[in-house]
């Protein structure tokens, strides 16, 4: 405990020496948050949480730290609104980051070095997604300095483990009675950068499935032609799956759909052999063959139809095949609806959000489905509308990449955008009950 305390103290001293009291600005606070080593496999959660708590409490916000799994804290920051009867707003971000290979970076990944010419702040997590974690607080700081009072209560959550699936983080939090008590009516979570001029916004995630197909058959001499060999049966399926993959990809190539709007099916491994001391027995046809696929289904895909296709065409028992599907999330909510947030007149929050972004001179790109998966799915599954939004325009997409950076002016513009979004959402009187 004493060594831990000393460690925290020395980290704090180090931070102060990097950006002392004289340099206490939104940018220096962003840099401080970026310097915490939050990369897997050993993310430091306690130091960034202490920092956030200090920031939040210094501006009069209340904080609560909850641990659903030991060592994996969820931080909840609250700004009380004047009308507790209205459903609340939740702004989420994750504390953790993916690892970084330091030797492949121009500047160390946890130095938060800011270049003197272009103002680029290099750090793992600068785009994904420590930017929004700090922007939420900085925009509240500005709103408070203008004596703005929210009507709706606003919660900010900082969750662990998003980058490894969120099972011990948002999944547990979203399923808890604490979460139900928050009475969330509308939520926001991370989005992605855009090299272009428009802000990207995401209304759904794709759902990953891990599919393994296996073929069984009698083994045979390498010289023999016979029916129903395991390899032959597997290759038939591989061909069929490739055709399906092409049919989906054609929509993308023809410009009829975005990458994230189709079902992607990508082979990730093939396994078949009769082992020998030196490698493979070359004159044997093996009795078992297996292939693994990564599937990503957009919310409008029909999971039952997909399962039927797999059972009847890709791994049919009449060709001695079996399969397993590991569904890494749901496609339908508790009422059987596709898990997605409407971005039209049927969702009153959408218009409020859109106007708030436009009020800052920004323009929204066509709403998108995220090609991958975030913690947003755990909240949307509950039927709560959620938009993914990280305000970063004119910025290359560098999440999980070497040399992840965010330009200082882009970060500052994001605070302004969030001021507008938070003040609009928290003043909105239109929805008086959860739309679940
Ligand atoms: Zn992220």
408 is catalytic: no
Q: Determine whether the annotation assigns residue 128 to a binding site.
A: yes
**C-alpha angle with apex 398: 138 to 15, nearest 5 degrees?**
45
Q: Determine whether the annotation assigns residue 163 to a binding site.
A: yes
The residue ranges of every structural domain in the chain are: 20-201+343-427, 207-327
Cβ–Cβ < 8 Å for 393, 192: no
d(CA 425, CA 47) in angstroms, rounded, equals 30
Distance 192 CA to ligand 1 centre (A): 9
Torsion angle of the four alpha carbons 181, 186, 189, 194, in this order, in degrees rounded to the nearest 10: 180
Instruction: Give DSSP secondary structure letters for 67-127.
Output: EEETTEEEEEEEE--S-TTSPEEEEEEES-B----GGG-SS-TTS-EE-TTT-EEE-TTTT
Distance 427 CA to ligand 1 centre (A): 28
Q: For the chain, give the percent of residues with pLDDT over 70.
A: 94
Which chain residues have CB less than 5 Å from ligand 1, an ion? 128-129, 190
Among all chains, which residue has been given the structure tokens 């306690």? 46
Q: Determine whether the annotation assigns residue 54 to a binding site.
A: no
d(CA 406, CA 398) in angstroms, rounded, equals 9
- Output DSSP code: residue 172: H
Distance 110 CA to ligand 1 centre (A): 16
Among all chains, which residue has been given the structure tokens 């759902």? 207
Q: What is the pLDDT of residue 334?
A: 80
Distance 377 CA to ligand 1 centre (A): 13
Q: What is the pLDDT of residue 372?
A: 85
Q: Is the peptide bond before 41 cis (omega within 30 degrees of 0)?
A: yes
Please state the pTM of the whole predicted model.
Answer: 0.87
Going by pLDDT thresholds of 50, 70 and 90, the confidence category of residue 433 is low
pLDDT tens digits for range 142-195: 999 999 999 999 999 999 999 999 999 999 999 999 999 999 999 999 999 999
Q: Pick the catalytic residue: 96, 168, 261, 408? A: 96
Give yes or no for residue 403 having a pLDDT over 80: yes
Distance 257 CA to ligand 1 centre (A): 24
96 is catalytic: yes
Among all chains, which residue has been given the structure tokens 């700004």? 79
Q: Where are the alpha helices (DSSP H) in 117-229?
A: 130-145, 170-174, 177-181
pLDDT tens digits for range 191-248: 999 999 999 999 999 999 999 999 999 999 999 999 999 999 999 999 999 999 999 9
Q: What is the pLDDT of residue 198?
A: 98
Q: Determine whether the annotation assigns residue 94 to a binding site.
A: yes
Q: How far is CA 331 from the centre of its chain?
A: 16
Q: Determine whether the annotation assigns residue 288 to a binding site.
A: no
Q: What is the pLDDT of residue 23?
A: 82
d(CA 11, CA 37) in angstroms, rounded, equals 11
d(CA 67, CA 172) in angstroms, rounded, equals 10
- Please state which CATH number belongs to domain 207-327: 3.30.70.360
pLDDT tens digits for range 52-90: 999 999 999 999 999 999 999 999 999 999 999 999 999
- Please state which CATH number belongs to domain 20-201+343-427: 3.40.630.10
Lowest mean pLDDT among 5-9, 15-19, 63-67, 416-420: 15-19
């Amino acid at each position: 405990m004493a060594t831990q305390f000393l460690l925290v103290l020395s980290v704090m001293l180090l931070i102060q020496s990097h950006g002392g009291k004289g340099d206490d600005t939104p940018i220096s606070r962003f840099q401080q948050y970026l310097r915490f080593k939050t990369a897997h496999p050993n993310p430091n959660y306690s130091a960034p949480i202490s920092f956030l708590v200090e920031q939040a409490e210094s501006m009069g916000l209340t904080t609560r730290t909850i641990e659903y799994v030991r060592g994996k804290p969820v931080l909840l920051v609250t700004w009380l609104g004047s009308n507790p009867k209205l459903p609340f707003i939740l702004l989420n971000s994750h504390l953790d980051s993916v690892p970084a290979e330091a030797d492949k970076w121009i500047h160390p990944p946890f130095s938060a070095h800011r270049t003197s010419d272009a103002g680029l702040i290099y750090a793992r997590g600068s785009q994904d997604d420590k930017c929004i974690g700090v922007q939420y607080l900085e925009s509240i700081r500005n709103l408070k300095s203008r004596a703005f009072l929210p009507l709706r209560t606003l919660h900010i959550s900082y969750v662990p483990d998003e980058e490894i699936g969120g099972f011990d983080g948002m999944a547990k939090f979203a399923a808890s009675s604490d979460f139900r008590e928050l009475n969330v009516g509308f939520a926001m979570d991370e989005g992605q950068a855009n090299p272009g001029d428009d802000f990207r916004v995401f209304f759904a995630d794709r759902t990953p499935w891990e599919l393994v197909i296996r073929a069984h058959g009698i083994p045979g001499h390498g010289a023999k032609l016979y029916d129903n060999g395991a390899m032959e049966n597997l290759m038939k399926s591989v061909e069929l799956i490739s055709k399906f993959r092409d049919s989906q990809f054609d929509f993308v190539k023809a410009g009829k759909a975005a990458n994230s709007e189709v079902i992607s099916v990508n082979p990730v491994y093939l396994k078949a052999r009769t082992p020998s001391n030196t490698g493979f027995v070359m004159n044997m046809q093996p009795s078992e063959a297996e292939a693994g696929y990564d599937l990503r289904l957009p919310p409008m895909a029909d999971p039952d139809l997909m399962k039927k296709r797999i059972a009847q065409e890709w791994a049919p028992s009449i060709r001695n095949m079996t399969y397993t599907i590991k569904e890494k999330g749901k496609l339908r909510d508790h009422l059987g609806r596709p898990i997605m947030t409407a971005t039209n007149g049927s969702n009153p929050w959408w218009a409020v959000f859109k106007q708030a972004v436009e009020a800052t001179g920004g323009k929204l790109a066509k709403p998108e489905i995220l090609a991958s998966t975030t913690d947003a799915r755990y909240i949307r599954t509950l039927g709560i509308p959620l938009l993914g939004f990280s305000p970063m325009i004119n910025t290359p997409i560098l999440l999980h990449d070497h040399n992840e950076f965010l330009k200082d002016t882009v970060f500052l513009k994001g605070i302004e955008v969030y001021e507008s979004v938070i003040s609009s959402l928290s003043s909105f009187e239109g929805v008086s009950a959860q739309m679940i």
